């Protein structure tokens, strides 16, 4: 791992954007306070979503909000529809301060770009876009979950809905080979779920058959998380789980309309084989040895 390179990058970035300054953008507050102020937005934001979006400890976020409240920039109130939900909103002074932050952030961006020639600016912005995608990918968490959980069910239902849109004749999961909750619960199988900022963004199931090849099912990635390499990561994690549970190989079937999935499987070393089941929606069958 290039740990040293990552640390050098972190030092340069934190210095160049002013994160080391006690008063970020010369506004008398830390970068953390200003980021929370900006993220609340003009429409307000519930505190739970704010904490998830910024990956902050609830106690630390509460301290930041109290500081912004004491400065007269934010007010936190109970939701009218649900008293358990707290909503953070900008005051009139908070809205004005956010506008100042926007303007000064633009000025900071200009100060970074201005010393560079046009070609250097293009290279820097392209590199920043790539770094942003990769850093976002590194924040995705993948783990085994109970398939009965609401967020796991959301992933599976989203998978069904997408197949319904993309298959020529739609998709009815009751006609497809089963991969129900019991089959995706150990010891008969498992379900991996991917989350980003605590929100579900992907899943993949594995049906285990002892010393026989395992079956990969329910592979889905949210449109919002595509381009992060999450499909390949889920596939790799499913293969690791199959190895850990003694499977000699993994198998899967797919529909001809799922061209991205087919390309992924081939790039990951899967070879096309004769049909090994009677899945009515499948046109391609793949297998990969794990030995």
> For the chain, how big is the Rg over CA atoms in Å?
24
The whole-model pTM stands at 0.87
Nearest CA among 140, 41, 154 for reference residue 88:
41
Among all chains, which residue has been given the structure tokens 């579900």? 200
The answer to whether residues 155 and 200 touch, using CB atoms and an 8 Å cutoff, is yes
End-to-end CA distance of the chain: 26
Q: What is the DSSP string of 27-57?
A: SSS-HHHHHHHHHH-TT-EEHHHHHHHHT--
pLDDT in tens, the chain (291 residues): 789 999 999 999 889 888 888 788 778 888 899 999 999 999 999 999 999 889 899 999 999 999 999 999 999 998 877 768 899 999 999 999 999 999 999 999 999 999 999 999 999 999 999 999 999 999 999 999 999 999 999 999 999 999 999 999 999 999 999 999 999 999 999 999 999 998 999 999 999 999 999 999 999 999 999 999 999 999 999 999 999 999 999 999 999 999 999 999 999 999 999 999 999 999 999 999 998
Whole-angstrom distance, CA of residue 189 vs CA of residue 238: 11
Would you say 152 and 159 are in contact if contact means Cβ atoms under 8 Å apart? no
Is the backbone peptide bond immediately before 287 cis, with ω within 30 degrees of 0?
no
The 10 Å Cβ neighbour count of residue 201 is: 23
Closest alpha carbon to 262 in 202, 200, 219: 219
In total, the chain counts a number of residues equal to 291
In angstroms, the Cα distances linking 240 to 173, 195, 252, 261 are 27, 19, 15, 19
């Amino acid at each position: 791992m290039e740990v040293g390179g990552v640390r050098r990058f972190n030092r340069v970035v934190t210095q160049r954007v002013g994160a080391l300054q006690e008063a970020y953008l010369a506004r008398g507050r830390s970068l953390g306070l200003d980021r929370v102020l900006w993220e609340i937005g003009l429409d307000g934001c519930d505190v739970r979503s704010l904490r998830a979006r910024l990956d902050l400890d609830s106690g630390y976020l509460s301290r930041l909000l109290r500081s912004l409240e004491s400065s007269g920039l934010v007010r936190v109130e109970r939701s009218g529809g649900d008293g358990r939900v707290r909503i953070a909103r900008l005051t009139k002074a908070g809205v004005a301060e956010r506008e100042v932050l926007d303007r000064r952030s633009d000025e900071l961006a200009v100060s970074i770009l201005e010393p560079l020639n046009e070609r250097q600016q293009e290279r820097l912005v392209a590199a920043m876009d790539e770094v942003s995608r990769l850093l976002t990918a590194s924040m995705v968490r993948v783990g085994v979950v109970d398939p009965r959980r609401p967020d796991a069910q959301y992933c599976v239902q989203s998978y069904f809905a997408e197949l319904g849109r993309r298959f020529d004749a739609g998709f009815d999961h009751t006609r497809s080979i089963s991969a129900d909750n019991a089959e995706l619960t150990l010891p008969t199988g498992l379900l991996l779920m991917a989350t980003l900022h605590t929100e579900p963004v992907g899943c993949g199931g594995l049906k285990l058959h002892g010393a026989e090849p395992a079956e990969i099912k329910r592979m889905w990635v949210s449109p919002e998380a595509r381009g992060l390499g999450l499909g390949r990561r889920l596939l790799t994690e499913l293969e690791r789980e199959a190895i850990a549970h003694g499977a000699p190989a993994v198998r899967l079937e797919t529909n001809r309309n799922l061209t991205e999935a087919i390309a992924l499987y081939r790039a990951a070393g899967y070879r096309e084989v004769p049909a090994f089941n009677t899945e009515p929606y499948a046109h391609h069958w793949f297998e990969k040895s794990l030995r």
